[in-house]
């Protein structure tokens, strides 16, 4: 055989080997998207990726940074910005929402902008939240061909209550959806008295050809706040397909007298957190918040179902399938703020499809996905009762026997903490003047220690689940709140003092009720919580047994309060975890702690931390593209928590 022929065969063989090797690498390291807020429709926040593992995670480096430019320090009549979004990756493009509700498409390898869309929200409106949005959702129209306009749609619910559909390829509004690409979500609703009390802040849920939205409602202004209705819209046309009311409507609009035994009037019970979807079962899982107003319920007698619940609705029709209430007749702002998480448990040789739902109380409920029945027993236990005018407290509350509470639920003056003896004594005196009968102590005029407070426990940051190891990981806050009922005849002077900065607490009128209220974190004169740290904890729960696997303080005070030495371990905040198949948990979320951290899911050992411009009060996500895995998080700080603000989307990868 001639040398040239031999050379040709050799080259051919090498090409085939190279192709085979490339194919093998692709098989081992496929391109993996993050197509939903929680990665899958059920919100598990688990990725099968293994390129980043326990042996190499310490080598993660900054890959790129994108600045949205959307940041507000609260001046010029604007609210402060809160960059809380988790991006999604579909069709090779990264999509996110900014604090100003702009939608941005990025190159996932370089972070370069491909397009952006500005809904032009009014930045100076009196929104109940800060300027923020937690993410977008994607939907593929199977009736349209590749290249057709709006075949892939990106949906956002804006803080000024619009549902907008955009062409994923261009960022232009889909003209056939609603009116020129948008649906006004306040149309057809009653009892909305001003802009800003009805908002959208979480990504819509997608099931088949429907887009499902809840709402964010400012629920303490009066007893009859707007309804917390959940609605589904046609993904193509924007037409309303169904709606579901979490609590029965009462259209009288006139608050009855507190002495009326048949009095009933309320609103809210809204679903402001992200929802979860089970397309195979045609179910949408809805987490609902408290009925209005939060701290007095004399005009909403009974349990207030289905407020403070997780509810399963039929996707096609909105029909109620089942519900489970986590808090009866809420008087503490104990919303079901965490998104439902759909998983499959391995117990006693069985595969059990479940819904996992946490609450601001720090309690975690594991429910059968088909029936809503608890997988671990839940017992109704007697709780303290109220003596406030017209109030009828629920005699019991539901306590899971497993898992145990993942945050402390009792705080007294004997537990007072401070960095100095003087600080500790000041905390002790303040706490001694408040009632502290443990969780579910009803609010009083004298004042109570609500512990956990309305921050949580578990908030919208939620949890992540590793289906291989059967471990759930969640972040929990432990910040006590001082809560007072304010008799109506004393309220206005206190409200005026609060506006002038002479009364350091959040106050709200609860119009129509015999009481307004005030609440404030229980802090020392130096501004630190009066309970012992950690104030923020990362917890792993083994759901095969219902036991806590490990618990570690999350973050430090080094960036937030540099004067403290040594720094405090375990800071409060917002922002959730994700888990990857190699056994790593990624999370940021602590106020003033400017790091994204990686933990070993088996032990809770910290493996790595990557520096951020400001704290990441958001949930990260991960994807693999062109053979490289990236971990991405929004680093924007948090306006309400007194954190330094930013506008950065930050990506890390191995060198």
For residues 63 and 68, give the distance between their C-alpha atoms in angstroms, rounded to a whole number: 17
Q: Are 586 and 578 in contact (CB under 8 A)?
A: yes
CA 99 → CA 51, 104, 542, 642, 645, distances in Å? 32, 11, 35, 16, 11
Q: What is the CA radius of gyration of the chain?
A: 25
* Active-site pick, 70, 219, 333, 593: 333
For residues 480 and 460, give the distance between their C-alpha atoms in angstroms, rounded to a whole number: 18
CA 67 → CA 86, 104, 644, 646, distances in Å? 15, 11, 15, 9
Peptide bond into 566 cis (omega under 30): yes
> Could you give the count of Cα atoms lying within 13 Å of 289 in the half-sphere of its Cβ?
28
Phi-psi region of 344 (alpha: psi -120 to 50; beta: other; left: phi over 0): beta
Q: Are 307 and 330 in contact (CB under 8 A)?
A: yes
Cβ neighbours of residue 639 under 8 Å, at least 6 residues apart? 72, 74, 79, 80, 81, 82, 130, 131, 645
CA 600 to chain centre: 23
For residues 48 and 269, give the distance between their C-alpha atoms in angstroms, rounded to a whole number: 36
Nearest to 623, CA basis, from 106, 100, 83: 106
Q: Which tokens belong to 354?
A: 């479940």
Question: Is 333 a residue of the active site?
Answer: yes
For residues 534 and 96, give the distance between their C-alpha atoms in angstroms, rounded to a whole number: 32
For the chain, first and last CA: distance in Å?
46
For residues 357 and 646, give the distance between their C-alpha atoms in angstroms, rounded to a whole number: 31
How many CB atoms within 10 Å of residue 37? 28
How many CB atoms within 10 Å of residue 225? 26
Cβ neighbours of residue 571 under 8 Å, at least 6 residues apart? 534, 535, 536, 554, 555, 556, 557, 560, 590, 591, 592, 593
Q: Which tokens belong to 432?
A: 């001694």
> Which residues are paired to 546 by β-bridges?
none
Positions marked active-site: 333
């Amino acid at each position: 055989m001639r040398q040239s022929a031999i050379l040709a065969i050799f080259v051919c063989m090498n090409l085939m080997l190279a192709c085979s090797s490339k194919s093998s690498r692709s098989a081992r390291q496929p391109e993996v998207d993050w197509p939903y807020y929680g990665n899958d429709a059920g919100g598990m926040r688990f990725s099968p990726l293994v390129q980043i593992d326990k042996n190499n995670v310490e080598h993660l480096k900054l890959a790129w940074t994108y600045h949205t430019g959307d940041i507000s320090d609260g001046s010029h009549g604007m609210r402060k910005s809160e960059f809380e979004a988790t991006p999604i990756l579909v069709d090779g493009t990264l999509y996110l929402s900014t604090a100003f509700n702009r939608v941005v498409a990025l190159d996932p390898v370089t972070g370069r902008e491909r397009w952006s869309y500005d809904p032009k929200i009014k930045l100076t409106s009196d929104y109940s939240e800060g300027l923020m949005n937690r993410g977008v959702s994607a939907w593929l129209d199977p009736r349209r061909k590749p290249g057709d306009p709006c075949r892939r749609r990106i949906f956002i619910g804006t803080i000024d209550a619009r549902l907008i559909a955009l062409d994923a390829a261009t960022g232009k509004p889909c003209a056939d959806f609603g009116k020129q690409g948008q649906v006004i979500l306040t149309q057809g609703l009653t009892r909305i008295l001003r802009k800003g009390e009805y908002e959208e802040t979480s990504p819509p849920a997608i099931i088949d050809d429907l887009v499902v939205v809840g709402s964010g409602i400012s629920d303490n202004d009066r007893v009859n706040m707007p309804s917390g209705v959940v609605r589904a819209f046609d993904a193509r046309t924007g037409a309303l397909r169904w709606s579901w009311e979490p609590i029965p409507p009462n259209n009288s609009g006139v608050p009855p007298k507190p002495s009326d035994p048949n009095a009933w009037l309320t609103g809210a019970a809204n679903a402001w957190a992200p929802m979860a979807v089970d397309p195979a079962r045609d179910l949408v899982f809805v987490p609902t918040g408290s009925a209005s107003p939060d701290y007095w319920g004399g005009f909403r007698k009974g349990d207030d179902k289905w407020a403070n619940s997780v509810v399963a609705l039929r996707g096609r029709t909105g029909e109620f399938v089942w519900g489970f209430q986590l808090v009866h007749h809420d008087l503490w702002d104990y919303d079901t703020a965490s998104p439902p998480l759909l998983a499959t448990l391995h117990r006693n040789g069985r595969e059990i499809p479940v819904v996992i739902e946490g609450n601001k109380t720090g309690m975690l409920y594991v429910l059968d996905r088909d029936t809503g029945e608890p997988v671990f027993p839940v017992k109704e236990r007697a709780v303290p009762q109220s003596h406030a005018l017209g109030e009828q407290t629920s005699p019991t509350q539901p306590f899971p026997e497993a898992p145990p509470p993942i945050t402390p639920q009792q705080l007294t003056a004997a537990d007072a903490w401070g960095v100095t003896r003087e600080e500790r004594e000041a905390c002790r005196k303040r706490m001694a003047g408040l009632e502290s009968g443990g969780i579910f102590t009803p609010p009083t005029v004298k004042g109570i220690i609500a512990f956990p407070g309305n921050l949580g426990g578990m908030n919208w940051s939620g949890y992540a689940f590793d289906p291989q190891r059967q471990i759930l990981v969640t972040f929990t806050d432990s910040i006590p709140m001082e809560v007072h009922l304010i008799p109506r005849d004393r309220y206005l002077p206190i409200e005026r003092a609060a506006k002038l900065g002479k009364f350091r607490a959040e106050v709200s009128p609860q119009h129509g009720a015999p009481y307004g209220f005030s609440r404030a974190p229980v802090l020392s004169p130096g501004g630190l919580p009066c309970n012992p740290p950690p104030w923020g904890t990362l917890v792993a729960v083994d759901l095969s047994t219902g036991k806590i696997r490990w618990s570690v303080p999350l973050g430090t005070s080094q960036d937030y309060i540099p004067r403290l030495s040594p720094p405090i371990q375990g800071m409060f905040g917002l922002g959730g975890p994700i888990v990857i198949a190699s056994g790593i948990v990624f999370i940021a979320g602590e106020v003033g702690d400017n790091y994204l951290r990686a933990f070993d899911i088996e032990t809770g050992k910290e493996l790595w931390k990557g520096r951020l411009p400001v704290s990441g009060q958001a949930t990260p996500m991960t994807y693999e593209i062109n053979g490289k895995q990236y971990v991405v998080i929004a680093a924007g700080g948090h306006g309400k928590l007194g954190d330094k603000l930013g506008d950065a989307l930050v990506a890390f990868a191995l060198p």
